[in-house]
Amino acid sequence: MILGFKKFFLFLLLIVSLFNLLFWVDDVLGENSTFTLSYPDFANPKETKSPAEFLNKFYLYALGISSALAIMMIVYGGVKYAVNPGNTANQSEARDIIKNAVFGIVLLAGAYLILKTINPSLVNLGNPQLKKIESEASSSTGDILNKKFIQFLASQLIGFAPQTDGECGLGTGARGVLQDIIDGKNPKVCFNGCKRQTGQCSPADSSVISNLENTLQKLLKAYDVIGWCKDNPTLCTNYIYLRDISSERSVQITSITGGDHSPNSLHYAGRAVDLIISGENYHVWNNVVRVFRDNGATRVFCEDPSAPAGQKQKSNCEDIFVNGRLKPGGHIHVEY
């Protein structure tokens, strides 16, 4: 009678322990009082929208199945122990089954609990996120595009720009534009009629800066050719009259994005520059036009601002001279 009571007591204790264990697992795996298991939808993969979501669901699914199997083994071990009184071998095997099952549950749930305590994100896998890399350039102000390269180009060309402020205010001349680039600033872009409203020019945007980089790069190439012809006059047969330039720095850049030009001028897009040449040999002017045309320019001509509209562009630089002297405002216009 006493032996039967002990068996009943052990069986009742086992059932109570199992119910307690179920509530404990629920507390570990779920935030609500009701145990809800999310599992991967293998039949309808569209319900699982990302790899991270799939792995999260699969982990919880596997954890739930493992816990259920462990509980079943505990029940099996308890029953085996209860129905084999006096059988030391079977009871020992039953104890091992129960012990191993409990150890498995503790291992599974404990690992989850420890990771969640350390950092909840460790048990809530997320998709990797790529960090957006901000451009060095600002659309209107701030650092310029391709900063180091365009600064290098400007530093190589600033010696060819006269130290004047420009007709549309401080920093609107070619030297001011190049100095802004060297200083890491967006240079000024002016507009038609700006010399009547000085100080109204705006910082270049990213598209103008991009165009400027191309313009300055091709400008520098043309200057390299001019310098080479000056140093090698007997070999520079293509541009023979360039030998008359005492220094390549006598070809001066007078306007880039500043200045008062026509309303749709490419100057304001960073795609045009104006040049003047020291000396009044129009043959040299014509040959400088050829140098720029042969080295990346899309259009080059001599310009006479004093001529009537539609007649300002001259294919021969001789037309901007009168009695061997340059007309006021005469210059070479280069477009890229």
> Sign of the CA dihedral 181, 144, 264, 287?
positive
Distance of CA 126 to the CA centre of its chain: 23
Closest CA to 80 of 96, 68, 100: 96
The predicted pLDDT at position 7 comes to 54
SS3 content of the chain, % helix, strand, coil (to 5): 55, 10, 40
The answer to whether 320 and 302 have CB atoms below 8 angstroms apart is yes
Q: Give, as one character, the DSSP assignment of residue 277.
A: E
The answer to whether 202 and 140 have CB atoms below 8 angstroms apart is yes
> Sign of the CA dihedral 259, 264, 270, 274?
negative
The predicted pLDDT at position 123 comes to 63
User: Tens of pLDDT along the chain (336 residues)?
Assistant: 444 545 544 554 555 455 555 544 454 445 444 545 454 554 455 555 566 677 777 777 777 787 778 788 888 888 877 787 777 787 788 788 888 878 877 777 777 777 777 766 666 666 666 555 554 444 444 556 558 899 999 999 999 999 887 888 888 999 999 999 999 999 999 999 898 877 779 999 999 999 999 999 999 999 999 999 888 888 888 898 888 887 877 999 999 999 899 999 999 999 999 999 988 889 999 999 999 999 999 999 999 999 998 899 999 999 999 998 999 999 999 999
One-letter amino acid of 8: F
* Interatomic CA distance for residues 59 and 108, integer angstroms: 11
244: which residues sit within 8 A by CB, 6+ positions away?
Answer: 279, 281, 283, 284
In the sheet with 251-255, reading across from the earlier edge strand, the strands are 251-255, 272-277, 331-335, 299-303, 313-314
Q: Partners of 334 in the beta sheet?
A: 273, 300
**What are residue 116's phi and psi, to 5 degrees?**
-65, -35
Its pTM surpasses 0.85: no
The answer to whether 270 and 208 have CB atoms below 8 angstroms apart is yes
Cα–Cα separations (whole angstroms), residue 70 to 62, 65, 96, 104, 105: 12, 9, 13, 7, 7
